[in-house]
């Protein structure tokens, strides 16, 4: 398809970048741009009984998705949901404890994998697709709608550890001691994630991002098996059904393995964590669009430190396809005014 035959590309800067174009002013959005650093988010959050209720109430989820768009005019809106809704939809108990993060009834071994029910995933996630449909009507025409899911390895870490782990002992022992049994869990997640992303695209998501937040804790062979292979399977299957929809991969902490991840998964763009040097970012940009990678703590600090961080990244990556973002999610302590300043600096260059 030529650029001319994609009318959305002429008005949507994010789609232009993801289809390989360099732009004088890069498109920008921030991971976790809807969230607790915004007073208007905290107000809506207080109206929901629980965090999952917020994710499954289209009225509220649409509202919090739109809040950062209204306030800042980002180039993309990311659907408000969570990566752990897939574990919930497979039948695992998931809940969120204020100040502690997600908790899940931990899965250990093949019996708990056998209890998961992949057929329940799409019906249980119907409210999320309704949120996507409403967002397609509510967003400004130049704003791109991003859908997302957790990648299988990262979702499996939460499912096996029962929450955010510290050393990943339980999930690693499962994967190393019983690779076939653990592989069945990964296969279920590949299937569920493929269907989930497909349904988001059918509802109106124009781009999808796969968050592999814990990709960086694995040795090389395990990284290939549990990060690259499942991601490639999902990308292949999504692209077979929706060849024009860009997929962004975020294998956080992949270090030296970013290049293999890009080459072997066929993602259209790669989101870089804060530790990735501009030399590697520039090399990756020869193959795909790159997204990133300002340290979220620089947006807490603001001022000259933040301005220098923005300039370093934007100067290094301006001549290729590039999406400005953070290297990980924005943190709750971020002063909302510093995000305004980030946009003024980036767009005023
Ligand atoms: O604005 C957006 O980016 C869209 C919504 C979004 C959320 N979570 C909302 C959320 C997205 C894209 C995510 C992804 C997510 N969720 C990831 C991958 C990215 C990353 O940060 O590594 C992971 C690992 C999760 C799992 C998760 N959800 C954790 C570890 C936590 C607790 C930490 C925290 O920030 O509280 C959550 C809860 C969560 N997800 C909140 C939000 C706004 C805060 C909950 C609240 O408001 O009480």
Identify the pLDDT of residue 109: 82
Identify the pLDDT of residue 1: 44
Considering 6, 21, 45, 287, which one is annotated as catalytic?
45
**Which class is 9-348 in CATH?**
alpha beta
Is the peptide bond preceding residue 293 cis, with omega within 30 degrees of 0?
Answer: yes
Domain range list for the chain = 9-348
Q: Give residue 13 CA to ligand 1 midpoint distance, Å.
A: 25
What SS3 class is residue 289?
strand
Is 158 part of the annotated catalytic residue set?
A: yes
Q: Give residue 31 CA to ligand 1 midpoint distance, Å.
A: 9
Residues at CB less than 6 angstroms from ligand 1: 31-36, 45, 51, 78, 80, 82-84, 96, 101-102, 148, 164, 211, 213, 329
Q: What is the DSSP string of 80-133?
A: S--TTHHHHHTT--EEEETTTEEEE----SHHHHHT--GGGHHHHTHHHHHHHH
| Residues β-bridged to residue 323 | 291
Average pLDDT of the segment spanning 61-70: 98
Q: pLDDT tens across 245-262, in order?
A: 999 999 999 999 999 999
Identify the pLDDT of residue 96: 96
- How confident is the prediction for the chain on average, in pLDDT? 96
Q: Can you say whether the dihedral through the CA atoms of 24, 210, 31, 66 is positive or negative?
A: positive
Average pLDDT of the segment spanning 259-286: 98
Identify the pLDDT of residue 349: 83
Residue whose structure tokens are 């590949």 = 190
Q: How far is CA 344 from CA 18, 38, 74, 295, in A?
A: 23, 18, 12, 18
Q: Give residue 81 CA to ligand 1 midpoint distance, Å.
A: 8
Instruction: Give pTM, 2 decimals.
Output: 0.96
Protein residue with its CA nearest to atom 23 in ligand 1: 83
Q: Could you give the percent of the chain with pLDDT greater than 70?
A: 98
Q: Give residue 35 CA to ligand 1 midpoint distance, Å.
A: 8
Q: How far apart are CA 131 and CA 200, in angstroms?
A: 10
pLDDT of residue 87 exceeding 70, the answer is yes
248 phi/psi in degrees, rounded to 5: -105, 130
Helices 179-203 and 152-161: crossing angle in degrees, nearest 10, is: 120
Protein residue with its CA nearest to atom 22 in ligand 1: 213
Q: pLDDT tens across 9-34, in order?
A: 789 999 999 999 999 999 999 999 99
Is 261 part of the annotated catalytic residue set?
A: no
pLDDT of residue 2 exceeding 50, the answer is no
Q: Give residue 278 CA to ligand 1 midpoint distance, Å.
A: 27
Average pLDDT of the segment spanning 70-78: 98
With contact defined as beta carbons under 8 Å apart, do 63 and 135 qualify? no
Considering 37, 41, 72, 158, which one is annotated as catalytic?
158
pLDDT of residue 7 exceeding 80, the answer is no
Which atom of ligand 1 lies closest to the CA of 150?
Answer: 18
Q: pLDDT tens across 327-336, in order?
A: 999 999 999 9
Protein residue with its CA nearest to atom 13 in ligand 1: 82
Average pLDDT of the segment spanning 226-242: 98
Q: pLDDT tens across 149-160, in order?
A: 999 999 999 999
Is 45 part of the annotated catalytic residue set?
A: yes
Identify the pLDDT of residue 3: 45
Is 347 part of the annotated catalytic residue set?
A: no
Which atom of ligand 1 lies closest to the CA of 148?
Answer: 12
Protein residue with its CA nearest to atom 30 in ligand 1: 101
Q: Residue 162: name the closest of 96, 102, 246 by CA.
A: 102
Ligand 1 mutation target, pool 62, 327, 329, most atoms within 8 A of CB: 329
Considering 6, 32, 184, 224, which one is annotated as catalytic?
32
Identify the pLDDT of residue 6: 64
Ligand 1 mutation target, pool 42, 64, 65, 82, most atoms within 8 A of CB: 82
Is 319 part of the annotated catalytic residue set?
A: no
Q: pLDDT tens across 93-111, in order?
A: 999 998 899 999 999 788 9
Average pLDDT of the segment spanning 296-314: 98
pLDDT of residue 228 exceeding 70, the answer is yes
pLDDT of residue 134 exceeding 80, the answer is yes
Q: pLDDT tens across 181-201, in order?
A: 999 999 999 999 999 999 999
């Amino acid at each position: 398809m030529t650029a001319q035959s994609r009318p959305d590309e002429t008005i949507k800067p994010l789609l232009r970048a993801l289809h390989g174009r360099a732009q004088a002013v890069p498109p920008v959005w921030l991971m976790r741009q809807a969230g607790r650093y915004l007073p208007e988010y905290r107000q809506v959050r207080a109206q929901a009984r629980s965090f999952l209720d917020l994710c499954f109430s289209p009225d509220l989820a649409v509202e919090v998705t739109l809040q950062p768009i209204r306030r800042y005019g980002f180039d993309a809106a990311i659907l408000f949901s969570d990566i752990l809704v897939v574990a919930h939809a497979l039948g695992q108990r998931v809940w969120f404890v204020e100040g502690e993060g997600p908790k899940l009834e931990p899965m250990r071994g093949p019996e708990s994998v056998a209890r998961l029910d992949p057929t329940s995933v799409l019906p249980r996630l119907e409210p999320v697709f309704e949120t996507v449909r409403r967002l397609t009507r509510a967003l400004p025409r130049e704003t791109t709608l991003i859908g997302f899911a957790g990648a299988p390895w990262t979702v499996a870490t939460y499912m096996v550890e029962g929450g955010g782990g510290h050393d990943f002992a339980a999930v690693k022992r499962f994967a190393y001691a019983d690779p076939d049994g653990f592989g069945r869990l990964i296969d279920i997640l590949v299937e569920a994630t493929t269907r989930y992303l497909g349904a988001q695209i059918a509802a109106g998501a124009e781009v999808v991002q796969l968050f592999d937040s814990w990709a960086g804790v694995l040795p090389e062979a395990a990284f290939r098996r549990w990060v690259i292979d499942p991601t490639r399977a999902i990308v292949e299957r999504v692209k077979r059904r929706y060849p024009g929809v860009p997929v962004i991969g975020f294998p956080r902490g992949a270090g030296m393995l970013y290049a293999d991840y890009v080459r072997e998964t066929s993602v259209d763009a790669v989101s870089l964590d804060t530790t990735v040097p501009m030399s590697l970012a520039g090399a990756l940009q020869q193959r795909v669009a790159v997204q990133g990678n300002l340290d979220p703590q620089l947006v807490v600090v603001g001022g000259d430190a933040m301005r220098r961080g923005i300039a370093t990244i934007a100067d290094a990556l301006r001549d290729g396809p590039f999406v400005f973002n953070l290297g990980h999610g924005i943190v709750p302590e971020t002063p909302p005014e510093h995000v305004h300043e980030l946009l003024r600096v980036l767009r005023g260059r």
